């Protein structure tokens, strides 16, 4: 066991990762919109701002989260009306992280909820966003990136994809 200031770790490398905080890897520039906006307006906003997600806010408080994948699967694939309120197709409640949270804890939160993005709040106020890619690429640890990606992917995929096939 290696030890870092107040942290017990299996190796010194683990200690280095444990000290990386969300505030160090998050993106502060977040695209937001009101929940009353239409699906079409949000899709246009995503295209204009070149983003794959939008945080729905009431003032500074995040109340929903919508991704391009949400729109593809719950609107387009289901033949829904593009004039629907986007809030009807958004994830809610929003899964959040705090700026002082350690990267490892944020990764576990993503795995637990099967998500690739966390909205970062401070005192309930939106201050940023952190993605699975941020956690892995900005810590500079390829092994961490691979492990987190595999675990989140497994969490969101139906069990069907992980059963043994063939035989005989």
Q: What is the DSSP letter of 149?
A: H
pLDDT tens digits for 85-116? 999 989 889 999 999 999 889 988 988 888 88
Please name the residue that has the structure tokens 């444990």: 18
pLDDT over 70 at 141, yes or no? no
pLDDT, average across residues 53-81: 91
Categorize the per-residue pLDDT at 163 as very low, low, confident or very high, splitting at 50, 70 and 90: very low
More confident site: 167 or 99: 99
- pTM assigned to the model: 0.76
| Cα–Cα distance for residue pair 8/148, rounded to 1 Å | 21
pLDDT over 60 at 159, yes or no? no
| Cα–Cα distance for residue pair 20/148, rounded to 1 Å | 15
Position 120 scores a pLDDT of 97
pLDDT over 90 at 19, yes or no? no
What 64-71 contacts at long range (C-beta under 8 Å, 24+ apart), as own/partner pairs, is 64/35, 64/90, 64/91, 64/92, 64/94, 65/90, 65/91, 65/92, 65/94, 65/95, 65/117, 65/119, 66/42, 66/90, 66/91, 67/91, 67/117, 68/43, 71/39, 71/42, 71/43
| Cα–Cα distance for residue pair 106/131, rounded to 1 Å | 10
pLDDT, average across residues 63-84: 90
42 token code pair: 């949000």
Categorize the per-residue pLDDT at 130 as very low, low, confident or very high, splitting at 50, 70 and 90: very high
Average of per-residue pLDDT values in the chain: 81
Distances (CA, A) of 67 to 70, 93, 137: 5, 14, 21
């Amino acid at each position: 066991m290696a030890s870092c200031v107040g942290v017990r770790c299996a190796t010194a490398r683990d200690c280095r990762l444990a000290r990386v905080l969300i505030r160090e890897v998050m993106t502060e520039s977040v695209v937001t919109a009101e929940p009353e906006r239409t699906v079409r307006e949000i899709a246009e906003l995503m295209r204009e701002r070149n983003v794959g997600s939008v945080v729905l806010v009431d003032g500074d408080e995040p109340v929903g989260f919508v991704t391009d994948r949400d729109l593809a699967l719950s609107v387009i694939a289901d033949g829904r009306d593009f004039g629907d309120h986007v809030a009807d197709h958004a994830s809610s409640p929003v899964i959040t992280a705090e700026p002082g949270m350690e990267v490892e804890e944020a990764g576990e939160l993503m795995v637990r909820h099967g998500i690739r993005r966390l909205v970062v709040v401070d005192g309930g106020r939106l201050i940023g966003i952190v993605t699975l890619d941020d956690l892995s690429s900005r810590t500079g640890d390829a092994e961490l990136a691979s492990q987190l990606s595999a675990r989140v992917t497994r969490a969101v995929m139906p069990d069907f994809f992980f059963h043994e096939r063939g035989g005989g």
